[in-house]
Amino acid sequence: MVVTAGALVSALNGEFYKLYEGRTYWPDRLSDWATVRQQGRVDRLYLKADAAANRKRYNEVWYNLRIYPTDSETGRRLATHPTLLGNILAAYEDYPKERYGMDSVFYWPRLWMVVEKDLKEEIGNSWAIADGLLNLSAVSFLAGLLWLSMTIAVEMGFLGSRWLPVTGFAASVGALAGWVGLGYGLYRLSLPFHRRNGEVFKSLYDMYRDKLKKLTTLAPREAELWRATWAYLQYLRIPCPNCGETTVSIITKDCANQGCGAHVPEAIEEFLRSGEMIKLPKASA
């Protein structure tokens, strides 16, 4: 049961994040209300920053403001999600786009591939703390929900009292409050770790984006080159030098296009000598 529960929690990690960020499973009205509430916190922090009596107080206020994303038009911080976690993740996921014009969703898997193995392991171990705390928080909330369901079932006579470790409605409510409080406490405890993860995420784009430069250039006629290479490796065929519309088998040396039907042994010999996949088709040159 422990192994099954652990595997289930691990599999649901992505769904937990969606819920805690406020991306899914939130009714529209609740999401809008919570987002407005988060924006109210941002506005109050700006007021506190303006009224800060000293540099230390000002820096402390801005430490809290920096968890929110930046409005690209005004440069001010704003709340885009109904939860603190949602805003923290949005703030650092927007960073590559704001600084370098790189979409983090698209480029992140490619950037991660060029990071050294040792650094990957170190980052992974660090990020696992935030994931673990969030998973424990979700499990605590789910345990509270299960406890509430069982308490109601016991009170209504559907289950015997032996199903609950404590008896009495008041004790059950206290236990429920304990589960919910634990879940919220673990969630809040995970936030500093998520902020730290966000700084690492941003630093990886700062330090490793140059290794993605090869993605910004294409070889001449690259799409045609890859198609021709696939045709040769998969079917032993090359582009027809006569019509350029279909392929020639290097075995029969005949074009597959019935309207062309060219027999081109010289082209096959030239290809095998030079190895240039897209040198042959005249029609697309």
Instruction: Parse the chain into domains and list their residue ranges.
Output: 222-274
Average pLDDT over every residue of 178-188:
93
Q: What's the whole-model pTM score? A: 0.78
Count the neighbouring beta carbons within 10 Å of the beta carbon of residue 93.
Answer: 17
Q: pLDDT at position 72, please?
A: 84
Q: pLDDT at position 161, please?
A: 61
For the segment 240-273, what is each residue's pLDDT rounded down to a tens digit? 888 877 888 889 998 888 888 889 899 888 888 8
For the segment 43-76, what is each residue's pLDDT rounded down to a tens digit? 999 999 999 989 999 999 999 999 999 998 888 9
- Mean pLDDT, the chain, rounded, equals 87
